[in-house]
Structure 1
Amino acid sequence: MIGRRLTGIDAARGVALLGMMATHIFPLYDEQTGEPSWVGLVFSGRSSALFAVVAGIGLALLTGGSQPRSGRALSADRRGIAMRALIIALVGLALGGLETSIAVILFHYGILFLLALPFVGMRLPKLALWAVVWLLLSPVLAYLVRPWIYAAIDPSTLDTNITWESFLQPATLLVDVLFTGFYPALQWLSYLLIGMVIGRLRLGEITAQVGLVAAGIVAAAGAKFLSYYLLFDRGGLAALEETASGRLWPLARMMDVNLAGVEQTGSWWWLAVSGPHSGGPLDLLHSAGIAAAVVGVCLLLTRARPNLLLPLSAAGAMTLTLYSLHVWVMSVTDALPEPPEPVWLFWISAVLAAGIGIAFVRLGSRGPLEMVTHGASQLARHGSRTGK
């Protein structure tokens, strides 16, 4: 495995891409009963978390894998990552200007890359400690700060995708990106740090791959069981239903699918929630555990046959291009008088994503946006696009 691309990592990224596409195309709740749909129950929150965790793995691999670089080499790595972050954020700003119901992740993705820069030179033990501390304490800090934000900054969230116009509200933009938006960077940095911890392992070894599956399942299941115990057996949910948000929203249903946009104030019991996009420690632990298990499974399946998951790994090797194309397509379909059937739209999108990815793999080429990002990154690292 050493010295060649780990296609299992690309396959996991492909799983994340298809999962996010599913949540964008299919309804998250049954329109007739109001009950969560299977797509909402399975993919909501977990796909985007997998996307972020795999991003952290990529950062670790870019900076030396199990042997992180130091000195001038690390400085060059940081310049390259910063340039990647800039390009990704610019693409996110362009997509944010489209008329779409999708919460575009790319601007936040770029910010997360910048926030991860201080950690990219750390070795595994120190990085693991930071990841654990950040996962546990960042939700606490967010809970303490949010009431002040809601009182002091009006509006306290953008309630839309980030565009160039958002910079005209600098305070709102800052708190939206860090605390109140769909992907609050304060807590979401936990995913990148966990991904970097995974990327510091010897991922080509079967012990690491099996360990990721086992540890991921234990973490994901343990977080859910603990949350259930705290909320239902210890009275946490009843306390939350007495808060202002609890009286406004059907929390019991939303906890299964999506808590983004719910003001989590008025009770420390919010930190016991594991629902998607709640941003609490148990939500972060559960979704990061699922991500670790998916990565482990993909690595195991591609261990002997790197192309076994080619449709996924090929698409996962060019997610920036394919995700951007998907958002544009959804902006077009959202504007149609009669939206297409979700099942057909998803499978057409999935087949096209796999087909485009395989075509670029066969041509030995990166995707268009990946080529731009790689070239700019190499220029920032070495002063030339070739890195020489």
Structure 2
Amino acid sequence: MTSRSTAASSKTSKGPAAGTRLAGIDAARGLALLGMMATHLLPTFESDANLTPTWIGLTFSGRAAALFAVLAGIGLALSTGKQRPLEGSALTAARRGIALRALVIAVVGLALGGLEVNVAVILVHYAVLFLCILPFIGLRLKALCAWAAGWIVGSPVLAFLLRPWLMAADPPLQLNHNPGWEDLSTPGQLLGDLFLTGYYPVFQWISYLLVGLIIGRLSLSAAGLPLLLLTAGGAVAAFAKVLGTAAMESWGGRAALQEILSDPNYPLDSILQVNLAGVRQEGSWWWLAASAPHSGTTLDLLHTSGVAVAVVGLCLLVGRLGEWLDLDLLLPLRGAGAMTLTLYTVHVWVVASFHLQPLPAGWTEDGMYFAHAALAVLIGMAFLLLKKRGPLEWLGHAANQVGRHEPDRVR
């Protein structure tokens, strides 16, 4: 959902390495978009008594949205100096531009918040993440690594301690719906939901943008980096998931949590595999040992960050392979990935138009998903081949340029 990079559409004067690098990032965004569409349109649980997870839930839940956030950090790094972060007035101007772009995203998100739709819209949280990451934009690689490690370890613990206090307020500082314009009249509840009690808790999710900044500050054109990202990301993801599974199944975590979570609408075995959002994680420190999607724990952040890093590495590798074969293997994905804000917005609006309505005659959930995915790919490819930005990407880019503008100084 970041602005379209014109360099991604063809090999530019900076050479093949730069074009391949940006094409791989856009392709990863395209994958994230299609993954989020899948969780919106296809069931993540079977409709049986045990809520058995589907392959869609097991594959995409928690991972697609996290990939979006990591890619946001990568995009910010690439637009603020790549390996050498901006300094001084240039950094200040870049921060202004990012803030104005975040404002555009927030306005779109608040507008979507007024729709009746069974989708957890990420855009307002996404915009707040852009604002929260501004202090870190000028940091170099070592400092970013230290901050990311500390945030991944520390933020879930602080969130665990703060959430019960926020939920004990009257009324609780939780919206239970997508943020909309009306929520601006209750700023305390809105901020509590955005940062800690909502579906995408910004406080922990800052970790994803820090990881993305780290990736974007690396030399993405280096020959061995894509393979390193793929293997290291995969290893971290596997380690976190194995450790979380052991904590729940072998060390007594699930048994302890089962005593707390007695609601039959939330079978613990299933939600630990697919989605812990909506569950009040309090009353036991064992919640922090879970690696469940949308749990916001250290293991969840590690696993989903690792998956995101591996996906970025894979997309960069495929881009290199396509360049070697003289084929644009990433074209279908990078077209959609270059205009995710527009496509995501249209997708949510279309889903809202069918809310609580039967599907058209002859349509199935699978057919609806493939229609959304195919249209996203085709529209993205068309805009890419025409070398045009999507409408909302154009608006975000314009806001960014206005923010970055530095009037000539009077001498």
- Deviation at 1:32? 3.5
Q: 1:53 aligned to 2:70? A: yes
How far is 1:168 from its partner? 2.0
| Equivalence for 1:207 | 224
Partners of 1:246 and 1:32 in 2: how far apart?
16
Per-residue CA deviations over 1:276-321 (Å, capped at 9, x if unaligned) read: 1000000010011000000000001002435211110010000000
2:371 aligns to what? 348
Cα displacement (A) at 1:251:
1.4
Cα RMSD for the two superposed structures: 1.5
Q: CA deviation at 1:67?
A: 1.1
1:94 is the counterpart of 2:117: no
C-alpha displacement at 1:160, in angstroms? 0.4
**Cα offset for 1:383?**
5.6
Alignment-derived partner of residue 395 in structure 2 = 372
Q: CA deviation at 1:333?
A: 2.0
- Distance between the aligned counterparts of 2:144 and 2:28, measured in 1? 22
How far did residue 247 of structure 1 move? 7.5
For 1:151, which of 158, 164, 168 is the aligned residue?
168
Of 15, 25, 30 in structure 1, the residue corresponding to residue 46 of structure 2 is 30
In the other structure, the counterpart of 1:239 is: 256
Q: Post-superposition shift, 1:332? A: 1.1
1:273, 1:280 within 8 Å by CA — same for their partners in 2?
Answer: yes
Structure 1 residue identity aligned to 2:126: Y
**Which of 285, 296, 300 is the matching residue for 2:317?**
300
How far 1:224 moved relative to its partner? 0.7
Matches within 5 A, 1:178-189: 178-189=195-206
SS in 1 for 2:118: coil
Q: What is the Cα deviation at residue 208 of structure 1? A: 1.4
Pairwise mapping of residues 262-341 of structure 1 onto structure 2 (< 5 A)?
262-305=279-322, 307-338=328-359, 340-341=363-364
SS in structure 1 of the partner of residue 322 of structure 2: coil
d(CA) in 1 for partners of 2:37, 2:261: 33
CA distance, structure 2, for counterparts of residue 153 and residue 117 of structure 1: 32
Which residue number corresponds to residue 136 of structure 1?
153
- Relative to 1, partners in 2 of residues 1:109 and 1:187: Cα closer, same or farther, differing over 3 Å? same
| Counterpart Cα distance in 1 of 2:135 and 2:262 | 36
Query: In structure 2, do the counterparts of structure 1 residues 144 and 216 end up closer, same or farther at CA, with 3 Å as the change threshold?
Result: same
The CA deviation string for residues 337-364 of structure 1, in whole angstroms up to 9 with x for no partner, is 3464111111111111111111111111
Deviates more, 1:270-279 or 1:204-213: 204-213
- Using the TM superposition, give the Cα deviation of residue 156 of structure 1 relative to its aligned residue in structure 2, in angstroms: 2.7
Q: Is 1:171 equivalent to 2:192 in the alignment?
A: no
Opposite residue 222 of structure 1, the aligned amino acid is F
Counterpart of 1:346, as a letter, is: Y
The question of whether the paired residues in 1 share the 8 Å contact of 2:166 and 2:172 is answered with: no
Q: What is the CA distance between 1:82 and its match in structure 2?
A: 0.4
Counterparts of 2:252 and 2:287, CA distance in 1: 12
Contact 2:383 2:390 in 1 (8 A): yes
Shift of 1:249: 2.8
Aligned equivalent of 1:19: 35
**Offset at residue 190 of structure 1 (A):** 0.5
Partner AA of 2:83 in structure 1:
S
Check the 8 A contact 1:108/1:177 in 2, yes or no.
Answer: yes
1:119 and 1:127 in contact (8 A); partners too: yes
235-244 or 283-292, larger mean C-alpha shift: 235-244
CA drift at 1:205: 1.4
Over 4 Å off, 4+ runs: 244-248
The 8 Å contact of residues 61 and 293 in structure 2, kept in 1 or not, is answered as yes
Structure-1-length-normalised TM-score: 0.96
Deviation at 1:236, TM superposition (A): 1.0
For 1:269 and 1:348, the matched residues in 2 are separated by 42
Which residue of 2 is the match for residue 108 of structure 1?
A: 125
Give the 3 Å change call, closer, same or farther, for CA 245–134 of structure 1 in structure 2.
farther
Residues in 1 aligned to 2:351 and 2:208: alpha-carbon distance in whole angstroms: 27
The structural deviation recorded for 1:335 is 4.4
Q: Is the 8 A contact 2:342 2:393 kept in 1?
A: yes
Q: Which residue of structure 1 aligns with residue 405 of structure 2?
A: 382
Give the corresponding residue for 1:221.
238
Partner of 2:5: none
CA contact (8 A) 1:245 1:262 kept: no
Question: How many equivalent residue pairs?
Answer: 384
Conserved in 2, the CA contact under 8 Å of 1:241 and 1:247? no
Secondary structure of 2:192 counterpart? helix
Q: String of CA shifts for 1:163-187, please: whole Å, max 9, x gaps.
A: 0111222211111000000000000
Give the fraction of aligned pairs with identical amino acids, expressed as a percent.
Answer: 54
Q: Would the aligned equivalents of 2:75 and 2:216 in 1 still touch at CA under 8 Å?
A: yes
Indicate if the aligned counterparts of 1:240 and 1:246 stay in contact, CA closer than 8 A.
no
SS in 2 for 1:305: helix
2:146 and 2:401 map into 1 onto residues whose CA distance is 31
**In structure 2, what residue type is equivalent to 1:330?**
V
Query: Could you tell me how far apart the structure 2 residues matched to 1:79 and 1:334 are?
Result: 38
User: Which structure 1 residue ranges, 5 or more long, are not aligned?
Assistant: none
1:119: which partner in 2?
136
8 A Cα contact 1:153 1:171, kept in partner: no
Question: Alpha-carbon deviation of 1:222?
Answer: 0.2
CA deviation after TM superposition for structure 1 residue 99, in Å: 1.1
